[in-house]
Structures are given as C-alpha cells and as structure tokens.
Structure 1
Amino acid sequence: MPHVAVVGRANIDITVRIPGPPVPGRTTFASSPATTTAGGKSLNQALAASRAGAHASLIGNAGDDHWGAFLHQALTDAAVDVSCFHLVPSASTGIAVIEVDPDGENRIILARAPETELTDEQIRSRLPGLHASVVVTQLDLQPDAVDAVFRHHRAQTLIGNLVPHPTLGPAALAPLDLFVANEAEAAAILGHHHDAPTGAARELRKLGPRAAVVTAGPRGAAYSDAHDTALVPAPHVNAINTSGAGDTFLGTLAARLAHQLPLSHAVADGVAAATTFVSSGVQR
C-alpha cells in the first residue's frame, strides 16, 4: 500500500460553537456542549491520508499524560502507524481551543507544549526507516527539525505546509516537490494578497517548489506546476464546521499522490473530500 508519512504536531482540540463573536467583559454562552477530539494539523492530515487509502504514519510527540494516551488511541483506532509517535515523560500535551460561529468559520487558540516539539535528532532517527513514498512536513517547526526532514527523507514526493519558520523564510520552499498553503498563508509569504488563488499559486512556484497549491475555501483550490495552472472549483454546500478542512484536503491530496495520480486529479479529490468534511459536521 502507498505510504504517506506526516511530520509535525498533534494536540487535543476543544471545540465550542458560539452564537456570535465574544463581547469584551461579557460571558458568551456556547450553543451546544463542548467536544473534545484528537487534533493538530499533522495528526489530522495523517488521519485523512489513512481514510483516503494510504498507509499513514505520524512522526510527532505528545505528553505522557491522559491526553497523550487519548491521541495515541485515536491514531491506532484509525489505523495510523504510531511507531514514530512518542509520548514524552513529564510533558503536557498541547491543547487548541476552537470557536466555531454559525457560518462554520473558526478561530483557533493553540497552547503548544515546548517539551513535545520535534528535534532534528528525533526526525533523523525516525524518518528514514519509514520508507514513505510521500512525506508531508509542517514548515513552522523549529528550523533544525525542518532541515532534518529535508536532509533525511527518502520520499519520491516532499510536501511542505504552512508559513515557514521566520528564520527559514521563503527559502524553505525551494527543496519541496509541492508546497500547499491557504490564501492567508500565501499572502503572508508573498507579502501581498492575490484576488485569484491561481495567481498566488503561480507566484509561490517561482520561489522554488516544483508545484504549488493554494486552497481558497468555498472557491476550491488552485494549483500550478510546470504543465498547467488552474482552479479546481468546490461545489456549494452549507458549511457546518471548517476546522480541519484544509488538513482533510492535504491528507487526501498526499494519499492520491502516493497512488501516483496526477496533481490535477489529486487536487480535485482533495477538494471533494474537504467539501464533504465541512458539510457533514462530523468530528474527527
């Protein structure tokens, strides 16, 4: 089975649905009870890759606490390989608080646990032995960890995600086969916003990656490679919760590339999976 390895963070998501933006000095009552789920961009992407038919591995850490055990069990239940997912003694697991408004838009506050951040030595000891055909890495990890991914992966396709760590900057895009970002992340890297995501994808590719994809929410996703630049539109749906939609897109995309589908087909399948996700309201 094609193998996707995801390098990055995992945390607990505590999601609350609110009737509107909180007002300073006043209590905002949630519309329904809070939900607690396994989360974090890399964990979400590994789950999505597994659902999309790839053998998925997560390289990451969590605290050796109740929440870390919860994440480990969630990954195991989803048939994600946890041989490179370690629980760090005496460390706490990171927690994200997610506010979801009536339109399904979300605001996320992440409390990271420094003790669980991946190091270059951990990546060097875990990544090469997986022999994954596709590796997805978060570029906002510590610079030495990102550099370790670049030096020690053995994948046919290396995918980067998120705005690179400030000390790396846009130069971190050059070693990639594919860079994936949303419109806000693309604007942060490029220094300006493109009205058309195709323009952003084309400009990102000029920074060095062989291909670039820019997700554009309800408009779909744009891709640019040596052969084509195009927008794959998303069907109109009523969004229930957009939190995790981008990770569903990327995990599905990675799985399809591991199956050696062309980029255009992989992007289309990613858009379809993300659309189903935001309209289903199913918690991860």
Structure 2
Amino acid sequence: MSSNQPYLTFHDGRRVPQLGLGTWKVTGEDTAPAIQAAVEAGYRAIDTAYIYYNEAEVGQGISRCGVPREDLFVTTKLWNNRHDRDSAKAALQESLDRLQLDYADLYLIHWPVPKESRYLEAWEALIQLHDEGRAKSIGVCNFQLNHLQKLLDKTGVLPVVNQIELHPYFQQTELQAYHTDHGILTEAWSPLGQGQALQDPVIQELAHQLQATPAQIILRWHIQMGRLVIPKSAHADRIRENFNLWNLYLDDAAMARIATLDRPDGRIGPDPELFHLMKG
C-alpha cells in the first residue's frame, strides 16, 4: 500500500485525498470487491451517487474494508428530481441509510438543471445539512460560471468543490480560473476522457518515455494541476495501477504538451446548461 497519497484542503478547512475511486457504472457484485481492492491499494476517497444505483453495495465494501470510518472520505450526490428543500434533506438520509453511514464527508448537487431553476433551493438545503453535521462538506457538480455566481450572490456560501468533466481534450480553463479565484477545488470526472485520450499520440509518447501507462500519465497531469481526480474501475489490477503513480513526474515540457490537446469540441458528456433528466 502506498503512503504517498496527497491531500488537498477545502476552503472549509477539511482535508480530502486528491486521488479517489469513482464508481459510476460499477454495480452489483463487482462493487464491494472494487472498494476493498481500492482501500488495500491505498485509496481513501470513494465517490458514488444516488443515480449510480450502487450506494448499498458501496456501503458493503466500506463495512468490509477494515479501515476506520474516520479514515475514509465518502462522497455521494443529490439527483435532479430532489432539488426542493425538504426532498433534498430526505434524499441525503436515504443515501446514508443505503451506505450504512451516519454522515457523508461530501454531498454534492449532481447537476444544476437550470431549466427547473431550483438549484438555489437545493443549495440552501445542503447548507442546512452541513450545519446539522450530516454532510461534513458540501459542493456541486457540473455547475457553470453563472450558476456558481448565483450561489455566491444569493447565499454568500460557495461550494468547496465543483466536480466537472475534465480531461486532456476538454480542459475548461475559464471555469477552472473562476474556481481558483474563489477558493473552489476542481474535481475531474471522466478524467481519461472515457478512454479516448489514452490513445492520443502525445499521451502514448509520454507513456513510452516515462515507462508509465497512458492512464498514469493523464492522472499524474491532473494531480500536478492541483485537481481532485476520481478514475473509475471495477478491476483490481487497474485500480492498483491507477494508484501507483507517486514516483512519476511530468516536467514542464510534458505538462505544456498535454495543455495543447484541449479542443473546442472536446466535451463528451452532457452540456450542463441543457441537461435536465429528472427520472431517478
């Protein structure tokens, strides 16, 4: 197990492991073993969500992993159809019951769903959940500049993190700059571009030069950029491989080469301004 896991600090003063395990599309009997493999490898952060339909299985993995609860950092998320205040608060309790936990280390609004115009009410509910101690830290996913500014203008409370699609082909530099200016950590979902970036000639060349895997090159790029990152896998070998990057270092020239891979059309997932799936 590696002891080199770096931590970052939220603006609320709490620390978070920089590299975590994502569990999107990790379901059923694969889930608990993946959690156990990750913890054995050295991961201490686990990311799930109501809409992943695996919170119960994630909870089983947590209960079996042999690490004290206070040493783990568990994130889950509020789905789009629960943005009203009472429903948002109830949704967290339902998630905690499935996870078999008393609190979430981080609770996130999964999408802003601006078409419904209720994300502000959801944010106010999360502030209350934080005050009650059921969510130790609170944040958002997929929020754009105008959504974040509205939270600040209306509540004076900014999320500790914004979890967004971010990979070499879609780097969101303007949004990241806003995060930096306002003390919000950037967390990358789909950090490998759903595997597409692994085949890029620049990534392949750097992997060959540094005797690393393409995934390790990209994950190390995220780490050196100061982001939180949550690669997902259900395979123990891949989970260990993704974590085994602390002796890897990308010099300025390598970092600059990856920066050039950004594309105007690089988004793979939904556009947050348009995405409004409500079914849960």
Instruction: Give TM class, smaller chain.
Output: 0.3 to 0.5
TM-score (normalised: structure 1): 0.36
Please, what TM-score do these two structures have when normalized by structure 2?
Answer: 0.36
Greater relative CO, 1 or 2 (CA 8 Å, sep 6+)? 2
